[in-house]
Structure 1
Amino acid sequence: MRVSVELSHQLHPDEWARRHTNGEVPDHWPYGLDRLARHGVQPVLRPPRRGLVTERVGRAARHRLGGYEWMDALRFNDCDAVLCWDEYSGVPAALRERRKPVVTGVVWLTDEVAPMTARFARWALPRAELVWASSSAMIPRLRSDWGVRRAHHIPLGIDTDFFHVRPGSEPGLVVSAGNDRHRDHGMLVRAVRRVPGARLEIATRLPVDPAVARPGLSEGQIRGLYARASVVAIATTPNVHASGLTVTLEAMASGRPVVIPDTPGLMDYVVGAETGLVYPAGDEDELAKCVQRLLSDSAMAAELGAAGRRKVEREFSTELQAARLAELMLRM
């Protein structure tokens, strides 16, 4: 099976490959989708349209029509199916295609989207041949609220070669990262300030205390941040799409103990007191206690970090993600 891979957010395959060679980003293709070829699905990655006029029209269409990648959806392909990583390319593809099956991931749709975004999604997603999500909590909502016929949970995977265990953690250093609207970095800052001897660094573009903010880091540089961390902690507002998931898995793969809120999506990936510590979402006091517990008990921190690495290797690599996705596509 040959599939046309359509990515959103103007990801360009050649640029990604160059950055991967330079150690800036994981996987040879975004999200490790090149690994599909090892499992019976031949991916064809189309570069996004470029050019001043095209980009200007594309931005205007995204702004006025729900944030979707409409310009790239106007192109046709000679593959057997269309594969989209998320709804921003998947919704236009499902509305465009009449002859070929469309397979799309959904990342944010179940958490507070704009009316225009929701309207197009409700038209498009029932037409898709297959829809998947990284959070199992999204699956019943996709079926009941969005009319999806075939919705599946496919666990997120990360590049376990790129993110690996490195020595050199700094005592007392707590690290976090992330830019989505459900991050509660403010609560994390307040919680860490309550922990004696702790200091915090957050890789983010969101507004946060400049003393802890580390904006503009590449994924390679964030990997270095994990290597220095004693603890990786995440704070979010309630959500079902697993805000903080990528950071959680990257930190686990790096052998660092994680502290996460008990949001349903993240609970697919972390076993409390076995591969990380879990606190009630929004509970600043419990978050501070979890961080303090790990900073004061290096043996526990090391044990949780090692267990987290083993779990990612067994269950949450991009190789396994590609195998699971390919299996579903070949059964269409």
Structure 2
Amino acid sequence: MINHGVRPIMRIPPSGRVAERIGRAARHRLGGYEWVDAFRRTTGDVVLCWDEYTGVPAVLREHHKPGRHKPVITGVVWLADEVDRVTALFARHALPKAAGVWASSGAMISRLERDWGVRKAHHVPLGIDVDFFAPRPKTEERLVVSAGNDRHRDHQLLIDAVRRLPGTRLEIATRLPIPAEHARTGLNEGQIRDLYGRASVVAIATRPNVHASGLTVTLEAMASGRPVVIPDTPGLTDYVENEHTGLVYPVGDVDALAKCVQRLVNDDAMAEEMGRAARRKVEREFSTELQAARLAELILAI
């Protein structure tokens, strides 16, 4: 952001046993939001939050404190899918007061305006560190890789699809309960990067959603020069060009998912060309530098 006219000041979350206990209790009882962090003193002219769990409390804090309040710009990730009553109550009260609301899933924009009272929502594509996630020659044949922990992941569908492909192996980096033969747990970011480097293809299976579940993994894999297989969920398909940077299948269709994976593990030339095209697309449209520029533009427009 410094390159684009904004000087960020990063706020360190509160630490210590007491703060952690209070924060945990507040999250549990009050919609999952980070209340303790949000109500600490802030510096700077504008408050920028990554998602609604810090953004909603920040908006409420600024609009209920005496004197001049700071504008709050917040990302939103989960609200277009299922949220509980308390979470929704606070969001509907706060989001219309935000100076800006943005989402990485283009499918969420109309819903934020229609259902949550947002005056004008902005689509800000997610960015990935293209230096950290860089292309490497694959080191294993017929290895399918996936990752992810959110509630919309459907790892079992991917397991069932790969089981139909003799000689093809599957590794999934996740904390979700899946058969131990496929699970890779406790991996740090560098180990996740190495997992992509070993893969022939990175495949994702999710249940229907509009917040683009699987987006981070998709872009990390593309930046790593790997072809991706993704479901046709709205938002996620904004990032992948079918038959060019990856393959898209109907969400929940195990036969179609298996066929897409089979095409790529059986055709190294096609997989490598898609991987190169995926890398070019991320460099051109979805780097962290580009996302920082887009967020800086929102801040400077206030």
Q: Specify the alignment match of 1:143 in structure 2.
A: 113
Q: How far 1:196 sits from its partner (Å)?
A: 1.9
Answer yes or no: is the 8 Å Cα contact 2:107–2:210 preserved in 1: yes
Contact 2:46 2:299 in 1 (8 A): no
Aligned partners of 2:34 and 2:138: how far apart in 1?
42
What corresponds to 2:58 in structure 1? 93
Partner in structure 2 of residue 321 of structure 1:
291
Could you give the per-residue CA deviations for residues 280-332 of structure 1, whole angstroms, max 9, x where no partner exists?
A: 00000000000000111111001100000000000000000000110121111
Q: What corresponds to 2:224 in structure 1?
A: 254
1:151-170 mapped onto 2 (5 Å cutoff): 151-170=121-140
Aligned residues: 297
Contact 2:138 2:200 in 1 (8 A): no
Deviation at 1:168, TM superposition (A): 3.1
Q: Deviations over 1:102-153 (max 9, x none)?
A: 0000011111011111111000111100000000000000000000012100
1:226-265 aligned at under 5 Å gives the runs 226-265=196-235
Report the 3-state secondary structure (helix = DSSP H, G, I; strand = E; otherwise coil) of the residue aligned with 1:100: coil
Q: CA deviation at 1:72?
A: 1.3
1:188 matched to which residue of 2? Answer: 158
Alignment-derived partner of residue 216 in structure 1: 186
In structure 2, C-alpha distance between the alignment counterparts of 1:78 and 1:226, rounded to whole Å: 39
What amino acid does structure 2 have at the position aligned with 1:307?
A
Q: Once the two structures are superposed, what CA deviation does each residue of 1:152-208 show, in whole Å capped at 9, x if it has no partner?
A: 000000100000001233111000000000000000000000012111000000000
Equivalent residue in structure 1 for 2:4, among 39, 47, 58: 39
1:72 matched to 2:37: yes
Moved more, 237-246 or 98-107: 98-107
Q: Give yes or no for the alignment of 1:306 onto 2:276.
A: yes
Runs of 4+ in 1 over 2 A off after TM superposition: none
Alpha-carbon offset, residue 209 of structure 1: 0.8
Matching residue within 97, 100, 103 for 1:133:
103
Residue 110 of structure 1 corresponds to which residue in structure 2?
Answer: 80
What is the Cα deviation at residue 52 of structure 1? 1.2
Asked if structure 2 preserves the Cα contact closer than 8 Å seen for 1:135 and 1:265, the reply is: yes
CA contact (8 A) 2:203 2:261 kept: yes
Residue matched to 1:284: 254
Tell me how far apart the structure 1 counterparts of residues 284 and 295 of structure 2 sit (CA, whole Å).
16
Read off the aligned partner of 1:202 and give its amino acid letter.
I
Distance 2:107 2:138 in 1: 36
TM-score normalised per structure 1: 0.88
Superposition RMSD in Å = 0.7
Describe the SS at the equivalent of 1:97: helix
2:245 is matched with 275
Is the Cα contact below 8 Å between 1:40 and 1:326 reproduced in 2? yes
Q: 1:175 aligns with which of 145, 149, 154?
A: 145
* Identity percentage of aligned residues: 73
Letter in 2 for 1:268: D
- The aligned residue for residue 122 of structure 1 is 92
The alpha-carbon deviation at position 78 of structure 1 amounts to: 3.2
1:227-282 CA-partner distances (Å, limit 9, x unpaired): 00001000000000000000000000000110000001111100100110000000
| Shift of residue 77, structure 1, vs aligned partner | 2.1
- On the 8 A contact 1:129/1:150 being kept in 2, the answer is no
Deviation for aligned residue 1:50: 1.1
Compute the TM-score of the two structures, normalised by the length of structure 2.
0.97
**Alignment deviations for residues 62-103 of structure 1 (CA, whole Å, 9 cap, x no partner):** 000000000112122231111100001000001010311000
**Aligned mate of 1:225, from 192, 195, 201:** 195
